[in-house]
Structures are given as C-alpha cells and as structure tokens.
Structure 1
Amino acid sequence: MADIRDIEIIAPNFKRRLSGVTSTIVQLVPEQIKLGQRIAVLGPGLPEDLPHLRYRDLWRLWRAPRGQSDRIWHARRNTEMLGGIVLRHLLRMPLKLLFTSAAQRRHSSYTRFLIRRMDAVIATNARSGSFLEVPHTVIRHGVDIERFHPPSTADDTIAATGLPGRYLVGCFGRVRHQKGTDLFVRAMIELLPSAPAWTAVICGRVTVEHQAFAVELERAVAAAGLSDRIRFLGEVDDIKPWYRRLSLYVAPSRNEGFGLTPLEAMASETAVVASDAGAYAEMIVPGETGAVAPAGAYEPLRDAIAAYLSDHDRVERHATNGLRHVHADFPLVKEAKAVGAVYDGLLERRTSKREN
C-alpha cells in the first residue's frame, strides 16, 4: 500500500470489471511512476503491483501531501467525478479535480454539471474535445511499446497457433454489435473463399446479454462452410502474442470512446484497417500505415480489407510504416509526460495564488 503522505495524485477506478478506462489506468500509471509522478490508484480490479490506497485512507485527505498544498483527484468516469466533488466541496478536502473525457457524443446534462466543477479537463482526442463546453487539453492515448512489440520468436507466428493458412487477419474486443464484430465476420465470409492463404480469428469475451448475437455469427460461419478458417477464440489469456501473429488487424467498431487496439496492432508491426469510430482516424495515416472506413459502413470496410488480402506487399509495407508511426507519435511516455504537465499546472496554480 502507498503512503498517502507522499501521494500527490489519486487515480480512482470505481468499476470492478475490465474496461477501456481500467486498461488506460493499468498501462499509464507505471509509466507515470517512472517519470517521478507521485500517484496511487484507488478501487477494485487493478493489479496488486500498482501503488494502492484503501478507501479507509480517504479520511487522511484533509492533510495535504508533503511539499504541496493540494492533491489531484484524476477522474475518468461520472462516479469518480462525483466522488471528487463530495470530497472537496462537502468534506472540504484540499483537492484539485481533473477529468479525462473520451466520449464521442454530447454529454448528458448531469455529466456537464459534473464537468463544470472540474479544475481542468483532458480530452483524449480532438473529436472528444469538440463535445466539451469547457476549456480543455487534448492528450491522445499512447501505447506501451515495450509490451507491444514486433514478432521476435517462433511463438509469434501463425505456425505456433496450429491454424491453417499462411496469414492471419484478426478482430479483437468484446463480441457485440457496437464493436462491429458482425461486419468483420460478414467480410470474412465474403472474402476468404477467394483468399485461400488467409485465416481469420476473433478474440474477445462474450457477455450473457450478447450471447445470442455471438451464436448467430457462428451459425453464419458454419453455414458458409468456413468454420475451419474463421475461428472464435473467446477471451484469451494474453492478447499480445496474437497481435504479433497477425498480418492484418481489423477494428470495425460502430462506436468507440478512444480505442487502443489499432495502436497495439501497429506497435506489434501489424497493418490495420479501422472504422473512423473513436480516435481511430487520428491514429492511422491512410495509404501509409493502414486504411480507414466510415463507421458502420459494410462495403467500404470490406473493400479496404480486400485490398490487403490480395496484396501482401501492401501488408508488409504498411506494417513497417505503422510501427515507425507509433514509435514517433504514440509512445506511452509521451502521454504520461503531457498528463504530468497538466498535473504540474494544477499543483502550481494554487501555490502561485497563495504566494501572491
């Protein structure tokens, strides 16, 4: 457990189940610690090796950390914003409130009410920022280029999987309509008969409410006689080697907050086709590192995929370019430094006022 006297930033996580927000915290906090940011997490569902605070430690927030007059409460959900507001405004704890927004839609009146009470707001991309009605800083998510890296061993090949074919094309994430899994499966059913060297894999959890959706997809694959070449792998223990085994990754989401999977794929030296949901279009350089299709539009997505299945030189060229692009523009350390600059501004602003 972390010593709260030394903690300047608290990253609450008020959701037990794994989500994109949780994944962001898990990846970003270790990088922030490397940079000397005095941060700890609060809440369930987070790895034990992160510095943790307990809920019973919160009463000690009345006392500021060593060397500062405030702490930062960095919220990423409504419940966490509300928690920070209660701690500061009702309990009068010395906190600065920061919110990171990834939403790709106009916020509800309740969310706007919460956001207006924040001291600073971060948007994860320009599109998210366009829905905010307050001043904000755009800081795009990055990817851990040490965890996600190009193939390096025999385990990083299609041969290691026992699957047929020479090349893999994959779609990762929860199996549901929002994620566009059906669009990917439909494209594979149409394209694979003319692309005998390719096999498709779908990796991701199927929740109870989306079970019927997943069953229908598997039935469609079976009816097409492609069950050996379109494989549903479920939720795998470690997704990282699967990115390295792919030649092409497809992100067909109809709706996303930010969406890290194209970055993870490019960091693994894998070419990418994505919809323009979330921040996908801001990650990909069309014609150089991958292709982008309108979210929810089947034909453009299918045609973009087909261009790769029929041209492996394009696959390899865009994979190489994508790796270079991620290392230059999307390393996780770049995000951690930019967020740290926002922290510094919040911690120094009040100090400056008091000194004056």
Structure 2
Amino acid sequence: MIMEETGKIFKKEKEMKKGIAFPTSISVNNCVCHFSPLKSDQDYILKDGDLVKIDLGVHVDGFIANVAHSFVIDASKENPVSGRKADVIKAAHLCAEAALRLVKPGNQNTQVTDAWNKIAHSFHCTPIEGMLSHQLKQHVIDGEKTIIQNPTDQQKKDHEKAEFEVHEVYAVDVLVSSGEGKAKDAGQRTTIYKRDPSKQYGLKMKTSRAFFSEVERRFDTMPFTLRAFEDEKKARMGVVECAKHELLQPFNGAVTTCTPPHPASAFLSAGEFVAQFKFTVLLMPNGPMRITSGPFEPELYKSEFEVQDGELKALLQSSASRKTQKKKKKKASKNAENATTGETAEENEAGD
C-alpha cells in the first residue's frame, strides 16, 4: 500500500526514490516494538482486548515521516477499556502530547525526558528504559540529536544534551510500560535491518553479495524487513554475513519484551502492557508542526489516575496549535481537567 500510494506522486521525477522508510511493525500487548514476522512464520490471530501498536515510516526523496499508534481491539464508548491497559495508553498518549509542546526551538531534550518520567509515573507506569527519539534528516532516520526516555545512571552520563533549533525535524517516539519498563531479549529472529553507509567489506558469499546489492538498490539507507524479499530463504542466508561484518544494523529483540505469540496464554502471562505513540514534527519559526499522527479517542480509555504535576497540567491544557492559540486561551479552565486525565486541548475543542 505504501509503495502504491507514494508511486502516485512526483511521477515526472523518474530518478526520485520514494516508499518505505520503516517497515510496518505490529506489536501486541507486552511486545515493545519491531515485531515484523516473515511470511513463513506462524500467524498470530488478533483478538478482542489485545493492545496493538502499529509502527511505520514513509519517505519521498529521502525526506522521512514516521508514525506509530496504539489501540485496544473492540474498545468503544459502550465498552471502554479500564485497568492497566487504559493506564498505559493514557500515559503514553499524554507523554506524546507533552512532547509536542516541549520539542520547540530553545528547549532542551532533557526537558522532554523529565516530563515523560513524571507523566508516566502519575499513571503508575514507566517509560521503556533507554529508548531514543531521533532527529530526522534527508536519507537519515537516526540523526545525531536524540531524546532519551527513562535513562539509567550511565545513560544519563553518556547521553548528549541538545537544544532544539528552528527547521529541525524529529520523530518523537514514546513507549510506556505498565511494569518496570525494562526491555528483555525474547530470542526471536531479527527481521528488520538498516544499511550502515560508513561500513565497507568485501562479501565472500555470492548469496550475500546478491542480497546486499538488492538492499542498496531498493532501500538505500532506509530500514527494511526480510519479508520484502521474494526469496525469503536466500534473504535469510545473505543477511548473516552482512550483519556479521556490520554492513547492516539490526533492529532486534534487545528492545522487546515480547514472547512467542503461541500459545496465547504464554504470550499474555507476563501481565504487562506497552503502549506506543510516535509522530513526526517540524520545528517551524511560528511553532512545532506535527505532520503525522493516529486517531485517538480518549473517552475509550478510563483510568483512575491523572497527571499530578501542576506545571505539566498547565502544559497539557495549553494549545499546541500555531494559529489559534489566542482564541483557545479562554477555554483553558474547561481544558484543565480533561488534559490531566487523557484529553488535550485540541481533542476537547474537536468535541465541542
């Protein structure tokens, strides 16, 4: 679908590359991210009550737009979600909304990290330890400037502080757990990789050379999934030598707590849930401009918790709109309660 839709634009630019910037991943319940199974893998049938995260990216001429969204299957106004699923989804959603208001020229990346921790803890949840949001540049999905969430003491020392600047672009990626927030390696096969243009090596195997040549031709520096190759067996063989010599970087199980989905009882036995919201934001001179997002209906998720911090309450009740901010100031008192319990100023306005 992504290739079909991007193929409809800039048709006269024959040399312009466009298409997938990050392969579609569907991660369920306590699986954090990057779950992109092969065609030969056993199917997992989604069911009512599953907390589903969909993550993908698109690019045109190397300019990237990423998005991820979380929802619970069969949630409705008549059948709202409660308990830990509701807590973690509302926490992650409000973390994303806070970031939209904080990722702006002149602010520091540490301000976002601190806000995420406070919001998540208000819902008795925890951001996934050490996960990064990256600056985006043309052909670069993992730029130098980053925002770290829930860093360890060592990560706090190592992570570079940075100031946001006008005309920068960021993929803000929020991942929150209902548990301790510590990702575990589930031992599953890595299926998503990205070429590292700084690495060079003369591949020995013919299968590896053919595979790597196709990677360069089709994906350049964008992440891809082995599922995208017609001959899965050859792709699985070719990727081994490429990854061993660091021509390809893996997006692997080190960032997931997911367990194999069969049997279903084993998949759900951990009792933890992870919610993800990701959006792409352009830092314009007149304010942040979010260009990707998924539909969120706060009334479908009923949590007994709310944001406690006064400054964060004020932040969340403020408008993120660049054009109508003055108009919405008079609605601040009405928005205050909604903002701290999962409904932002823009969502409340839409419902009026």
- State the TM-score, normalized to the length of structure 1: 0.31
Which one has a larger percent strand, Structure 1 or Structure 2?
2
